[in-house]
Amino acid sequence: MRVLGIETSCDETAASVVENGTKVLSNVIASQIDLHKKTGGVVPEVAAREHILKIIPVIKETLEQGGCEWKDIDGIAAVPGPGLISALLTGTLTASTLALVKEKPLIPVHHILGHIYGNWCGREKEKFEFPILILTVSGGHNDLILMKNHGEFELIGQSRDDAAGEAFDKVAKLLGLGYPGGPAIQKAALEGNKNAFDFPKAKLGSNSNGNSEIFDYSFSGLKTAVLYAVQEKYGKDYLPEKLNRKFVCDTAASFQKTVVDTLIDRLENAADKYNPKEIHIAGGVSANLALREEAKTRLVKFNVPIKYPVDISYCTDNAAMIASCGYFLFNKDPNKYKNWQNIQPSADFTF
């Protein structure tokens, strides 16, 4: 079965064709990074306008690259949310229209569940064993999920304020490192001393479900601690571009270490409790090399496969992960996806 995936939840206009949930035939991403660099972050109205311009050419290109005509496509998967409403509208309306006109099933895919399937993309020869413990970590979300089977997800922890990727982006901005912040911090951290600053890790007590084990996250305090460290040295009205390079690299390295340690602490707690058969890390921040290295070192004791997306393009927003998730959802209950109107853009997180 070949599924056309469509993703427009934030600042990437993406379309992809994936066969049987794992074999990626094409994965086209029109990134808006250069556009949003000017403002140091995504302006929703600007993103929405760009999606409208790009969506049809991107779909056309992905069909061509995948060697597909419409008759080869067995279903369309698109994202109703969460994301920027005006951006989601383009993807959902396009998917609905194509489903009606081309008479294809329409499969709504929750963006975060889509990220989970970034780990299925390109892994056509590998086996997966449930339950799988998954950290999804991006700019807009930061969740610990126990996946019991396809379509069976239990949210066991999440960020109470900012996601880790959001913290990477904000800290990069206040250090004058530009947008997007994750790759810029990772690069600067390579030149820095990760023990230069002892930034605080949030202590949260019981989690939002009332459990005493702590699986939730919080990164807003860390962001403020970095700001205070910069202001203490350079004053409240400092100019980011005037910061000393060594100071910036040391701060980036210490900040990255604190985020990575916090993310892995929670994964370790959860793996202890749930005894998963696999541990996965997905989402934009799963591209981070320090995170991958720390996971390898500290989670090896669980003696289970630790997986990250096989290609960086499956970490950050893309449509291959949406097509893959769409395939597995469709196969659980094909009758559910006959209605071309069955997709409403929504900022809602629940799945």
One character per residue 66-95, x = contact with Zn ion (rule: CB under 5 A)? ------------------------------
Would you say 63 or 87 has its CB closer to ligand KG4?
Answer: 87
Would you say 98 or 184 has its CB closer to ligand KG4?
Answer: 184
Residue 180 binds which entry of Zn ion, ligand KG4, none, with Cβ cut-offs from 5 to 8 Å by kind? ligand KG4
Would you say 17 or 172 has its CB closer to ligand KG4?
Answer: 172
Please tell me the number of Cα atoms within 13 Å of 312 on its side-chain side: 6
Q: What's the min distance (Å) between Cβ of 101 and ligand KG4? A: 29
Would you say 114 or 276 has its CB closer to ligand KG4?
Answer: 114
Q: Is 330 exposed, middle or buried (0-12, 13-18, 19+ CB in 10 A)?
A: buried
- 208-211-217 Cα angle (round to 5): 50
Q: Identify which range of 128-136, 221-229, 244-252, 315-323 contacts Zn ion by CB under 5 A.
A: 315-323
For 308, residues 6+ apart whose C-beta sits below 8 A from its C-beta are 119, 280, 281, 282, 286, 292, 295, 315
Q: What is the binding site for ligand KG4 (CB under 6 A)?
A: 10, 138-140, 165, 168-169, 180-183, 186, 283-285, 287-288, 316-317
Strands across the sheet containing 142-149: 152-158, 142-149, 132-137, 278-282, 306-307
- 322-158-210 Cα angle (round to 5): 140
Would you say 243 or 321 has its CB closer to Zn ion?
Answer: 321
* Residue 317 engages Zn ion in binding (rule: CB under 5 A): yes
Would you say 255 or 328 has its CB closer to ligand KG4?
Answer: 255
DSSP letter for each residue of 322-350:
HHHHHHHHHHH-GGGG--TT---------
What does the alpha-carbon distance between residue 54 and residue 61 come to, in Å, rounded to a whole number? 11
* Residue 143 engages Zn ion in binding (rule: CB under 5 A): no
Asked if 3 contacts 59 with a C-beta cutoff of 8 angstroms, the reply is: no
Asked if 215 contacts 207 with a C-beta cutoff of 8 angstroms, the reply is: yes
Q: What's the min distance (Å) between Cβ of 227 and ligand KG4? A: 17
Q: What's the min distance (Å) between Cβ of 305 and ligand KG4? A: 22
Q: What's the min distance (Å) between Cβ of 286 and ligand KG4? A: 8
Nearest to 294, CA basis, from 106, 135, 73, 57: 135
Residue 186 binds which entry of Zn ion, ligand KG4, none, with Cβ cut-offs from 5 to 8 Å by kind? ligand KG4
* Residue 166 engages Zn ion in binding (rule: CB under 5 A): no
Q: What's the min distance (Å) between Cβ of 184 and ligand KG4? A: 8
What does the alpha-carbon distance between residue 171 and residue 167 come to, in Å, rounded to a whole number? 6
What does the alpha-carbon distance between residue 164 and residue 290 come to, in Å, rounded to a whole number? 14
Out of 138, 142, 251, 288, which residue is the one contacting Zn ion (CB under 5 A)? 138
Would you say 142 or 251 has its CB closer to Zn ion?
Answer: 142
Structure tokens at 212: 């005493």
Q: How many CB atoms lie within 10 A of CB 237?
A: 6
What does the alpha-carbon distance between residue 89 and residue 75 come to, in Å, rounded to a whole number? 19
Q: What's the min distance (Å) between Cβ of 114 and Zn ion? A: 8
Would you say 308 or 327 has its CB closer to ligand KG4?
Answer: 308
Residue 182 binds which entry of Zn ion, ligand KG4, none, with Cβ cut-offs from 5 to 8 Å by kind? ligand KG4
Structure tokens at 148: 């019991």
Residue 183 binds which entry of Zn ion, ligand KG4, none, with Cβ cut-offs from 5 to 8 Å by kind? ligand KG4
Residue 288 binds which entry of ligand KG4, Zn ion, none, with Cβ cut-offs from 5 to 8 Å by kind? ligand KG4
Would you say 119 or 316 has its CB closer to ligand KG4?
Answer: 316
Residues that bind Zn ion (CB under 5 A): 138, 317
